[in-house]
């Protein structure tokens, strides 16, 4: 069975520098304004919780990056391979990151989302996140800048 036919089978593991070529390929296809290799390298280097979801054959389906300190966690990036979106992998990855946050004794998890990213906003609302603020002109966009909704969830 091909990796594309088994999107829910797999395991989470730490993201490695060796994964960055594939992660960057996914990132660039998923986002118009993608993270750079340097950003991912820095996240791994400083010890952020960088995770990939891969099939038993090593096919990366999704990845996430989260920082955690002093009772708080911040989900910085959550991405699913575009051709696998809509199959529950985002929810599974989010649940994994929330479990990681709990294990690190975080009491609150924060994240930002573009108001135009309706699918992500629905996912986060369904997972219990609530809007707690707005960061003006946070994201680059084709028309200049876009605000970010700041969401939080108590664990």
Read off the pLDDT band of 142 (50, 70, 90): confident
Q: What is the CATH number of the domain that holds 32?
A: 3.40.630.30
The predicted structure's pLDDT at residue 8: 57
DSSP element (H, E) containing 154: strand 144-154
Q: Is the pLDDT of residue 76 over 50?
A: yes
Least reliable range by pLDDT among 45-49, 53-57, 95-99: 53-57
> Any idea which residues carry the catalytic annotation?
112, 124
pTM, entire model: 0.92
Q: Is the pLDDT of residue 6 over 80?
A: no
Q: How many domains are contained in the chain?
A: 1
Nearby residues of 88 by Cβ (< 8 Å), 6 or more positions away: 7, 8
Share of the chain above pLDDT 70, in %: 94
Are 103 and 84 within 8 A, CB to CB?
Answer: no
Average pLDDT for 30-53 = 97
Count how many residues are written for the chain.
155
Strand locations in 15-129 (E) = 49-54, 60-69, 72-80, 108-113
Q: Is the pLDDT of residue 126 over 60?
A: yes
Average pLDDT of the chain is 94
Quote the domain boundaries for residue 143.
3-154
């Amino acid at each position: 069975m091909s990796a594309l036919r088994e999107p829910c089978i797999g395991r989470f593991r730490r993201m490695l520098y060796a994964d960055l070529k594939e992660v960057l390929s996914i990132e660039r296809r998923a986002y118009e304004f993608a993270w750079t290799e340097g950003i991912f390298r820095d996240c791994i280097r400083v010890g952020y919780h960088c995770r990939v979801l891969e099939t038993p054959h090593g096919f990366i389906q999704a990845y996430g990056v989260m920082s955690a300190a002093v009772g708080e966690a911040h989900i910085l990036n959550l991405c699913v391979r575009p051709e696998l979106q809509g199959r529950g992998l985002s929810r599974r990855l989010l649940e994994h990151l929330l479990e990681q946050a709990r294990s690190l004794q975080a009491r609150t998890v924060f994240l930002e989302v573009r108001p135009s990213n309706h699918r992500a906003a629905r996912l986060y609302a369904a997972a219990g996140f609530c809007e707690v603020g707005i960061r003006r002109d946070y994201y680059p966009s084709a028309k200049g800048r876009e605000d970010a909704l700041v969401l939080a969830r108590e664990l």
